[in-house]
Amino acid sequence: MDSGLSTPFCTITPEAWTRLRDSQGELFKKQMGITPAKYADDTLDPRKAEDMAGVLAAYVPLNGKTVLEIGTGCGVNHIVWRKKYAVDGWGVEPEGEGFANSAAIARALIQANGLDPARIKNAPGEKLPFADATFDIVYSSNVLEHVEDPAQVLREAVRVLRPGGTLQIVCPNYLSYFDGHYAAIHPPIFWNGFFRWWMKWVYRKDPWFAATIRTEINPFWVRRQLRAIARTTPLTIHTLGQDKFRERMTGADVGRWMALGTVGKLVRLGHALGINRLAAAAIIALQGWTPLIITVTKSR
């Protein structure tokens, strides 16, 4: 028996769905403005893993590669990518309870899909338990903004990447105008204190989670960190996500996951009015596109 979300490449068990709904789903229902069931559906939907693979595949073939995922979450990416794309997949996800119970859910779900849960290591992105130059691809999505030291995560990701390998990190841009954690429109964020104030007094939501977000992450910060790494490890920067943002804006396709319905309505309205291309160009010029899709190759 499965949850109804399953695909040929990933079985989602009722146990995993229920555990996620009753833990993280309950924790974030007021913050995100979605039901716990919607949270579980979107987090565990294997089609999302295929969407992510499609973005990555625009820059590097995925099939048969040795892949590390920093922040395995509930394990759906790991399962789909191993079964559909035959990757030699590994992951890290710190153990914990409540919001941090993803590792336990991931291991149970990976085992239920006939794969080895020991490939998910209990480790933070700042201290990867792998040797230098181990992986063809290092990937992470919606993790960098939650770590203690995002600059160190970038350094570690490059360290374990093989020469010629590709790193892709997808994360919010806090110079943009929308935060998916709170489903909130906001001005560009230059200081976490303002982000907390905005959530508390404009949206009347508890700012406890906003206090944990690394709001310094934006295109200027990313370029500065990559330049610092490139002083000792040459890198080729392919994109920070501007191209995908422009494509989504002009096609009025922002995705169907979590709280993106709010943004989707605005984008579709802009498309109907014929102003999406102009809006996309202006937002990119102001460094406000989102998400960041940091994609670099480590030079040989």
For 129-185, write each residue's pLDDT tens digit.
999 999 999 999 999 999 999 999 999 999 999 999 999 999 999 999 989 888 888
pLDDT for position 272: 55
pLDDT of residue 252 exceeding 60, the answer is no
pLDDT for position 275: 63
pLDDT for position 171: 96
Q: What share of the chain in percent tops pLDDT 90?
A: 74
291: preceding bond cis by omega (within 30 degrees): yes
pLDDT of residue 97 exceeding 70, the answer is no
Task: Tell me the pLDDT of the chain averaged across its residues.
Answer: 90
283-299 tens-digit pLDDT: 999 999 999 999 999 99
Q: What share of the chain in percent tops pLDDT 70?
A: 89
192-241 tens-digit pLDDT: 999 999 999 999 999 999 999 999 999 999 999 999 999 999 999 999 99
Nearest 5°: phi and psi at 201? -100, -25
pLDDT for position 258: 45
Cα angle 50, 141, 101 (rounded to 5 degrees) comes to: 100
Structure tokens that stand for 228 in this block: 């610092």
First to last CA, the chain: 47
The ranges assigned to domains in the chain are 14-158+167-173+181-296
**Would you place residue 29 in the very low, low, confident or very high pLDDT band (cuts 50, 70, 90)?**
confident
Assign domain 14-158+167-173+181-296 to its CATH superfamily: Vaccinia Virus protein VP39 (3.40.50.150)
Within 8 A by CB and 6+ apart from 36, the residues are 21, 22, 25, 26, 29
Single pTM value for the model: 0.91
